[in-house]
Amino acid sequence: MAFVNWLKRHLVVIAGLLTLAYLLLPNVVVTVFSFNNPKGRFNYTWQEFSTEAWQDPCGVSGLCASLSLSLQIALWATLGATLLGTMIAFALVRYRFRARGAVNSLIFLPMAMPEVVMAASLLTLFLNMGAQLGFWTILIAHIMFCLSFVVVAVKARVMSMDPRLEQAAQDLYAGPVQTFLRVTLPIAAPGIAAGALLAFALSFDDFIITNFNAGSTVTFPMFVWGSAQRGTPVQINVIGTAMFVLAVSLVLVSMLIGNRRNRQKA
Amino acid sequence: MATLTQAPPVAPPPAPEKRPPRRRGRWTPYLLLLPGLLWLLVFFALPVIYQASTSVQTGSLEQGYEVTWHFATYWEALSEYWPQFVRSVLYAASATVLCLLLGYPLAYLIAFRAGRWRNLIMILVIAPFFTSFLIRTLAWKTILADGGPVVDALNALHVLDVTAWLGWTAGDRVLATPLAVVCGLTYNFLPFMILPLYTSLERIDPRLHEAANDLYAKPSTTFRRVTFPLSMPGVVSGTLLTFIPASGDYINSDLLGSTDTRMVGNVIQSQFLRILDYPTAAALSFILMAAILAIVTLYIRKSGTEDLV
C-alpha cells in the first residue's frame, strides 16, 4: 500500500523522466555508435569498439566540405534573417501603419505551413526564373523561413520594454541615434540574440527546403541523407556527438557565468 | 491547511499604452518593413502563386509547360494519392496525440516539480536539437532493429501481437511499419510540444493550486478544473506546432517506413525531384497547403486562441 501511495504521488515525475529518456535515447545511441567498427557499409548494428573514426573525422570524402558549407550558409542566413527580422519587429511594436493585419499574416504564414509546401513552391519559382540551383538559392530559402522566427523572438522582447526608458534618455538630451544605440539596442539585445541563435539552428539543420532547392550542392544534412541510402560512415556519428557535446558545454558554461554574475549582483 | 507560499513580488505597473509623439519619421515604419516584407513577398508569397499556376499547366519537360487551366490534374492527383493523404493525417494526428500524452508530464515536471533541476532538465529537452535530426532519426533504425532488445522485449510481452492485429506492425518487425514512422514523428516533434506547454504551465500561479487544495479538491480534480484549462494556450500551440510539420514530413516515412507507409510529403518529393511531373506535384502541394490552412483556421476558431504569434 505504501508503495502504491508513493507511486501515486510521484506518477508525474516518473512519466516525465520516462519521456526525457525517450528524448535522449537516440543521442546515447549516436554517441555509442561513434565508437563502433561496423562490418558492412551501414553503421546500424554493434560490432566492436574502435576509436578509428574519432581519429579521422574527415576521413570520408565530402563530409567535412558539406559541414563547412552548412556552417557558411547558416552564418549568412542568420545574419540576413536577424537584420531583416529585427527591423520588422521594431516596426511592428513601435509604429502604427496601415495593413498591419496583412503584415502580421505574411509573417505568421511561413510558420504555419508544412516545410514541403514552401520548398516545392519556391522550387517552382526558381525553375520558372531559370535560376541556377545551388548556394544562392539555398541561402535565399533559408533567410525566408528563418525570418519569421526572428521577428517573433525580437518582438516579444521589444514589447516587454518600458518605453519610458527611452523618454528618459530623450529628456536627458540624447539624440534619436544615441538613444537607439545606448538604450534601445542593449535592452533588445537578448531578444535579438535568441532570434539569431534560433535562425542559426534552423538553417544549419534544415533538410526539406534544402533538399528541394539545392540542386547538386551538398550541405551536411544532405550528406547524411545521401549516406542513409548508400551507407552510413561512422564519422557521421562522430560529428553528431561532437556537436552535441560542444553545444551542451557552451550552454552549461554560459549558465555558470550567468549564475555567478547574478550572485555578485545580489 | 497548507500555508500560502510567498507571494511573487508585485509586478511593476504596465507601461502606459500611449506612445510618445513622433515628430519625424512618418515613413520610418515602411522603410523598416520594406526589405523583410519584400523578401517574404518574393520568396514566399510569389512562389505560392507560381505553384498555383504550375498546377494547372500541361505539357512535358522536353516541350515545356503551358497554362491550360487543366484543373483535372487536381482530380487525378487526389484520386491516385488519397491513401497517402489519409495516411499523412492519421500519422500526424497519432503523433500529435502521443506528443501531448508524453510531453505533458514532462512539461508539468519542469514547471512545478523540478526545483533546482529545472534548468538542467530544460537543457536536456533542447539538447537533442544540437545533433542533426537526420542522424538522430537514423539512430531509431538501430533502436528498433529486427531482433534488437526493444523488439525482443515487445515480442516477449506480446505487445507486437496486439499491434500486428491492429495493423500497426507486421510480423516480428517494428521497422518499416506505421508504428516505426509514428514513433519517429513523435520523437522528432516532441520538443515543439513540450516548450509551449511549459511556457503556459509556468505562468500558472502556484497559489491557485493551494487554493484548490484548501477547497478540498482532490489532486485529480485540481488538475482537471484548474491546471489543464489554464494550460490550454500551450496545448493549442503545441498541437499545431506538432501537427503541421508532421503532416508534411517525408523523412521519417522514408528512413523508418516502407513503401506502404508513404505519406503525401514523400509523393510530393518524388514527383518534384525524381519523376519531374511538376503539375501533379504542384497540385498535391497546393491541396496539402489548403487542407492545413483550413484545419489550422478551424482549430484556432474553435479553441479561441487568436494570438499565437
Domain that holds residue B139: 84-264
3-state SS assignment for residue B156: helix
Average pLDDT for B75-79: 92
Task: Return the pLDDT at A16.
Answer: 95
Ranking A13-17, A62-66, A85-89, B16-20 by mean pLDDT, the lowest is B16-20
Query: Does residue B119 belong to the interface with chain A, where contact is any CB pair within 8 Å?
Result: yes
What type of residue sits at position B37? Answer: L
Query: Which of B23, B33, B213 should we substitute to test contact with A (largest number of A Cβ atoms within 10 Å)?
Result: B33
> Given B102, B128, B292, which is nearest A24 (Cβ)?
B128
Is residue B139 included in any domain, yes or no?
yes
> Scanning every residue of chain B, which has its alpha carbon at the shortest distance from the alpha carbon of A144?
B40
Ranking A120-124, B95-99, B204-208, B252-256 by mean pLDDT, the lowest is B204-208
What type of residue sits at position A40? Answer: G
Residue B241 distance to chain A (closest CA, Å): 8
Number of domains in chain B: 1
**pLDDT band at A265; cut points 50, 70, 90:** low
- Give the residue from A211, A203, A121, A140 showing the smallest Cα distance to B289: A121
All CATH 1.10.3720.10 domain ranges of chain A, comma separated, are: 61-232
Helix (H) or strand (E) holding B67: strand B64-67
CATH code where residue B143 lies: 1.10.3720.10
- Which alpha helices (H) appear in A180-233, and where do they start and end? 185-204, 208-213, 220-230
Does the beta-carbon distance from B15 to A162 stay under 8 Å? yes
Ranking A14-18, A147-151, B126-130 by mean pLDDT, the lowest is B126-130
- Ramachandran region, residue B186 (left: φ > 0; alpha: ψ -120 to 50; beta: rest): alpha
C-alpha span between B160 and B174 (Å, rounded): 8
Length of chain A: 266
Is residue B11 included in any domain, yes or no?
no
Task: Return the pLDDT at A100.
Answer: 87
Fold type of domain A61-232: MetI-like fold (1.10.3720)
**CA A92 from chain center: how many Å?**
24
Query: Which of A9, A10, A23 should we substitute to test contact with B (largest number of B Cβ atoms within 10 Å)?
Result: A23
Residues of A in contact with B105 (CB under 8 A): 12, 15-16, 19
C-alpha span between B247 and B260 (Å, rounded): 16
Is residue B272 included in any domain, yes or no?
no
Does the beta-carbon distance from A118 to B44 stay under 8 Å? yes
**pLDDT band at A22; cut points 50, 70, 90:** very high
- Do the Cβ atoms of B36 and A147 come closer than 8 Å? yes
C-alpha span between B223 and B238 (Å, rounded): 19
Q: Is the pTM of this model over 0.95?
A: no
Task: List phi, psi (to 5°) of B168.
Answer: -85, -30
**Cβ of A61: how many Cβ atoms within 10 Å?**
8
Average pLDDT for A41-62: 89
> Scanning every residue of chain A, which has its alpha carbon at the shortest distance from the alpha carbon of B20?
A167
Helix (H) or strand (E) holding B66: strand B64-67
Task: Return the pLDDT at B23.
Answer: 46
Is residue B287 included in any domain, yes or no?
no
> Given B113, B141, B251, which is nearest A12 (Cβ)?
B113
Average pLDDT for B275-302: 90
Q: What is the ipTM of this complex?
A: 0.90
B4 has a pLDDT exceeding 50? no
